[in-house]
Structure 1
Amino acid sequence: MSDSTTIAQARHQEFGAFLRSRRERLTPASVGLPDGVRRRTPGLRRDEVALLAGVGTTWYTWLEQGRDVRPSPEVLAALARALQLDPAERRHLFLLSDRPVPEPPSTGPERVDEPILRMLESLTGQPAYVLGRRWDVLAWNRAAVALFGDYGRLEGDERNAMHLVFADPEHRRLLVDWAELASASLGMFRADSARYAGDPDFARLVARLMQASPEFRAWWPRHEVLRPFTGHKRIRHPEGGLMLFEYTSFAAVGGTDMKLVVYTPLAEAGTVAKLDALLQRASAGSGIAPARSAAG
């Protein structure tokens, strides 16, 4: 027996055990069914779950037995509703069945939690900021202000990473390898925006960038997409000179599409010392505040 077969069998068994545990915690009354006859085991019967999910009892029994059957995403969603799974349990159900988790797009105002703000503030020697679902800059630290400028002075679409890259001349001049970075950023933004196709805020931003940037206007129709990756970014600061950073992004937890972007100064070009000098100069001259958010 191959390792892949053993792993698949273990996954099926875990999937079945999870279904059974969720079924046994429910009562007929909790799902709107009559109690009926006296029950020998706790929870719902298999046929009751099958009825609620709209599947056959035998087929559902096979699922709990860990047999090699492949429920569709639609059936998994029906099982999640029938078993009254919360978001974490629903995600677990999809992962155990080796199906992509259908995460609904986030909506409404975005707010960066205090723990993330405190973490930003602790990154004293690493420029960092938090991007929202549309790549709006939601929060940033002192080092990011020293390197890129004060995001707090920007309003609306101007405080958006794609707008900064394509439509802000001062920010563009900071990026030594602008064409390469802009193309990669556009591919990652396009991949992230797929879940929000038709969203008016995204559409407004894209329309504005189509007017403001000939490069964006030429590249956007190509529909190129990229996964997030770690890379190097050369910054030519008007006061600090040439600096080299390694940048990466981390998905924020909590069911949001926020991401934390961190720039780590590298030894080349004396970047660490130059960044320290910028921070000291900025603190002495303007009193840059600790980590800030757009809401604050």
Structure 2
Amino acid sequence: MNTRLSRTRQDLADFLRRKRASVQPEEVGLSRSSRRRTPGLRREEVATVAGIGLSWYTWLEQGRDIRVSAHLLDSVARALRMSSEERQHLYLLAQERPPSAPADTWCEMPPLIRVLLDDLTQRPAFVMNLRWDVIGWNAAGDGLFAFSDYPKDKRNMLWMYFADKRLSCRVQDWPRQAAQIVSSFRRDYAAGHHPSDMQDLADHLQTASHTFRRLWRDHDVQGRCEGRRSFEMPDRGKVAFDHTTLIIDQDRHLRLVYYVAVEGSPADTLSIRRSAIDLASE
């Protein structure tokens, strides 16, 4: 047996036994017998509350080499009243991967991240969720993308790129950039668990944009969306930016997208902000 897998299964066994011992019968709607000697729950009680077979739970807790589904792990996590952090730990031990992203996408800006954005005064930056809704930005980011010009329900990077030509018409080499953007979103779409809101967005974009519809149906999946992107700026011509995406909250799937003007590019932060805002108001 692989040494790492053997160690992981032992860790899984220890973790489940400790969690089982920490949950009281009353917490899951069971009565406490006066003759109970086992601290916490019995294995058969966990299986009953989880709605799974006793043999399957026993094998799982013993760390046996069995294949378990996400449904079974979620049932065990609920029965043992696991927190989101404990559920993620369970998945990592049992399947060596984190659980799928939740269906609902986070739409609130954490206060500390708001401070971080405000501190980034020299470079365009914004925060988006798994659905690519933009939930926060700094002044330079608003200058480049004019987020404040969009209503909240349209403040989504995919919608802005594909359903509103004010942004895409400024992007140089748009066909290549469009393909990269859609393939990157494909990765996030697959990461979601029953992503009804993401499916609704994709459906609407296929109706609104022939380009998006064609690229979406290609099912092309590449790496994350980063690299170099150039924008046409009034009175400045083409301005090139290097951009990257940083995970700032893994559990809520929030990412900080950060743009840096390429050295020697004909623009500084102030002129980028002014030019982009003027363009958005035309």
| Pair 158,74 (structure 1): closer, same or farther in 2 beyond 3 Å | closer
Give secondary structure in 2 for the equivalent of 1:101: coil
Tell me how far apart the structure 2 counterparts of residues 245 and 127 of structure 1 sit (CA, whole Å).
10
Match of 1:276 among 252, 269, 280: 269
AA aligned to 1:44 is L
AA aligned to 2:184 is M
Q: What's 1:134 paired with? A: 131
Q: Is the 8 A contact 2:102 2:193 kept in 1?
A: no
Q: What's 2:80 paired with? A: 83
Q: What's 1:235 paired with? A: 231
Unaligned runs of 5+ in 2: none
* Offset of residue 52 of structure 1: 2.9
Match of 1:174 among 165, 170, 175: 170
Tell me how far apart the structure 2 counterparts of residues 280 and 173 of structure 1 sit (CA, whole Å).
18
TM-score normalised to structure 1 length = 0.78
| Pair 135,102 (structure 1): closer, same or farther in 2 beyond 3 Å | closer
Q: Is the 8 A contact 2:59 2:66 kept in 1?
A: yes
Tell me how far apart the structure 2 counterparts of residues 93 and 69 of structure 1 sit (CA, whole Å).
14
| Pair 37,188 (structure 1): closer, same or farther in 2 beyond 3 Å | same
Q: What's 2:99 paired with? A: 101
Tell me how far apart the structure 2 counterparts of residues 65 and 176 of structure 1 sit (CA, whole Å).
57
| Pair 70,221 (structure 1): closer, same or farther in 2 beyond 3 Å | closer
* Offset of residue 193 of structure 1: 3.5
Q: Is the 8 A contact 1:157 1:205 kept in 2?
A: no
Q: What's 2:45 paired with? A: 48
Tell me how far apart the structure 1 counterparts of residues 193 and 54 of structure 2 sit (CA, whole Å).
38
Match of 2:240 among 244, 247, 264: 244
| Pair 220,38 (structure 1): closer, same or farther in 2 beyond 3 Å | same
TM-score normalised to structure 2 length = 0.82
Unaligned runs of 5+ in 1: 287-296
Tell me how far apart the structure 2 counterparts of residues 280 and 175 of structure 1 sit (CA, whole Å).
16
* Offset of residue 157 of structure 1: 5.3
Tell me how far apart the structure 2 counterparts of residues 65 and 158 of structure 1 sit (CA, whole Å).
50
Tell me how far apart the structure 1 counterparts of residues 255 and 148 of structure 2 sit (CA, whole Å).
19
Give secondary structure in 2 for the equivalent of 1:10: helix
The reply to whether residue 26 of structure 1 matches residue 19 of structure 2 is: no
| Pair 277,15 (structure 1): closer, same or farther in 2 beyond 3 Å | same
Q: Is the 8 A contact 2:21 2:39 kept in 1?
A: yes
Tell me how far apart the structure 2 counterparts of residues 205 and 20 of structure 1 sit (CA, whole Å).
43
Tell me how far apart the structure 2 counterparts of residues 137 and 125 of structure 1 sit (CA, whole Å).
19
Identity among equivalent pairs (%): 36
Q: What's 1:152 paired with? A: 148
AA aligned to 1:240 is R
Tell me how far apart the structure 1 counterparts of residues 198 and 91 of structure 2 sit (CA, whole Å).
30
* Offset of residue 202 of structure 1: 5.1
* Offset of residue 61 of structure 1: 3.6
The reply to whether residue 161 of structure 1 matches residue 157 of structure 2 is: yes
The reply to whether residue 125 of structure 1 matches residue 122 of structure 2 is: yes
* CA shift digits 1:65-117 (9 cap, x unpaired): 3332333222212211221212221221111101551433116x822122111
* Offset of residue 62 of structure 1: 3.6
Q: Is the 8 A contact 2:104 2:195 kept in 1?
A: no
AA aligned to 1:189 is F
Q: How many residues align?
A: 275
Tell me how far apart the structure 1 counterparts of residues 196 and 66 of structure 2 sit (CA, whole Å).
37
